Amino acid sequence: VTREEVIKKAESFGRWYHAVELLPGYHTQSMPFGDVWEQIRRVRANLPFENKTVLDLGTMDGLWAFDAEQRGARYVLAGDIWANPRLLFAREVRGSKIIPVPNADIHCLGDRLRSLMVFDRVQKFDVVQCMGVIYHVQNPLLALHQVRRVIAETGILVMESGCWMGGGDDPVLRMNRGEPKPYDDNSTYWLPNLACLKWMLTITGFTVIEETILRLKQQPTCERVALLAKPGPLHPTPDNYGGPVP
């Protein structure tokens, strides 16, 4: 297949979400989110990927799954709720070994991934990438609990989300409703403010690494936040309903 044929086929998909390097010097035409991706690049810059197992959630066109592979990851699952033909094409052209997993809804990750992981003898993931996903899901705490169950105790979570800039230090989960909406994006159910994002991670068993937090103002009341977190203590319910702490 010639370079021209690859480019023609890539362009036949229309505009891609990610700018994926298909051939040396050729990136797919992408959405204009360069500043968001630059922040993600920075928060992941010093993460070791060599020989790691990686789970990329909401992989879309696979930019961050391919990046993990290129940086030496030995096993990369690229999950999403849909089967994306662009991802499959990019995988083929790049000669990539990432494993696309359609129907990988973050709410039921354990069930979806179990047989794959058993077959491939992977116990848990060293790196879980959850970027640009959490505000699209209806049950964010359930989703984070699911992530906690598949990450290695020594693993690292890369979290990236749109965040509401109101609420100050109070943790607030702001529904994306009203005129104007806090976030001009129809596929966003709600936005946490930064305090809320941190608290949701805490109560689902993660410890935010404070010094990694990066913030980028994106819209009048919305910023993008990228951070690293590691598995922390599993949190009992607030008063444990009077019962013994598990």
Report the alpha-carbon distance of residue 194 to residue 225 in Å, rounded. 7
# chain residues binding ligand SAM, by CB under 6 A: 17
Q: Which two tokens stand for residue 105?
A: 């809804």
Is 57 an interacting residue with respect to ligand SAM (CB under 6 A)? yes
Looking at 5-13, 76-84, 148-156, 174-182, which segment touches ligand SAM (CB under 6 A)? 76-84
Please give the residue whose beta carbon sits closest to ligand SAM in the complex: 58
Binding ligand SAM (rule: CB under 6 A), the pick from 80, 204, 205, 226 is 80
Q: Map tokens 């529904």 to a residue.
A: 175
**Nearer to ligand SAM (CB atom), residue 128 or residue 131:** 131
Residue 205 · residue 148 · CB < 8 Å: yes
Report the alpha-carbon distance of residue 216 to residue 225 in Å, rounded. 7
Looking at 22-30, 56-64, 191-199, 223-231, which segment touches ligand SAM (CB under 6 A)? 56-64
Report the alpha-carbon distance of residue 55 to residue 228 in Å, rounded. 15
* Length of the chain (residues): 246
User: Closest approach of Cβ 169 to ligand SAM, in Å?
Assistant: 27
Angle between helices 194-203 and 140-150 (to 10 degrees): 50
User: Closest approach of Cβ 229 to ligand SAM, in Å?
Assistant: 16
Is 155 an interacting residue with respect to ligand SAM (CB under 6 A)? no
Residue type at 88?
L
Contacts of 215 (CB under 8 A, 6+ apart): 163, 194, 223, 224, 225
Is 58 an interacting residue with respect to ligand SAM (CB under 6 A)? yes
Binding ligand SAM (rule: CB under 6 A), the pick from 7, 19, 47, 81 is 81
Interface pattern 131-150 for ligand SAM (x via CB under 6 A): xxx--xx-------------
Residue 236 · residue 245 · CB < 8 Å: yes
**Nearer to ligand SAM (CB atom), residue 112 or residue 198:** 112
Residue type at 189?
Y
Q: Is 45 left (phi over 0), alpha (psi -120 to 50) or beta?
A: alpha
**Nearer to ligand SAM (CB atom), residue 55 or residue 122:** 55
Binding ligand SAM (rule: CB under 6 A), the pick from 106, 147, 163, 225 is 106
For ligand SAM, the binding residues (CB under 6 A) are 57-60, 63, 80-82, 105-107, 131-133, 136-137, 160
